[in-house]
Amino acid sequence: MDFPTDMKTLVAIYRDILDEMRDPVYLCDGEARILFMNKAAEKVDGIHRDAVYGRPFDEVYTVDKSVSPFMQALKSGKEVRLPRYSYWIRGREVVQSCVAKPVLANGAVIGAFSVQHDLTEMREIVEDNISL
């Protein structure tokens, strides 16, 4: 059997691949509205992707726009790497390392995506051991 080449099937395959990743993956459009988050992102954030689809990033997450990897990548059109980045969701701080990149079409920035690695649990373990 040949690998499918139709766009609908390829998008479904890519979505399945992203959902199998252990690290959170997010995609937003040029206005920073959330278009996709994988299952790892749902787990870390404690929210289902359907609840955030199409909503502005800063409406869902409490984050300083000046340090938001999405906003930096959208504004600069360049890759942003943050070894430590935190945001708040549902009253809980989430700490991650992050790489965000712009999505380009014909040289124009039309969105951004990020791949993050959750450091929250590691931070909590360190804090617990320091207090001993």
Sheet holding 34-37, edge to edge: 34-37, 25-29, 108-118, 92-105, 80-89
The one-digit pLDDT tens for each residue of the chain (132 residues) are 788 888 899 889 999 999 999 999 999 999 999 999 999 999 989 999 999 999 998 888 888 777 788 889 999 999 999 998 888 888 888 888 999 999 999 999 999 999 998 887 766 666 666 765
pLDDT at 23: 93
Residues 6+ apart with CB under 8 A from 38: 18, 19, 21, 24, 25
Cα dist from 110 to 25, 45, 61, 107, 117, whole Å: 17, 25, 21, 9, 24
pLDDT at 91: 85
Question: 117 is written with which tokens?
Answer: 């690695």
Residues paired with residue 95 on neighbouring β-strands, in sequence order:
86
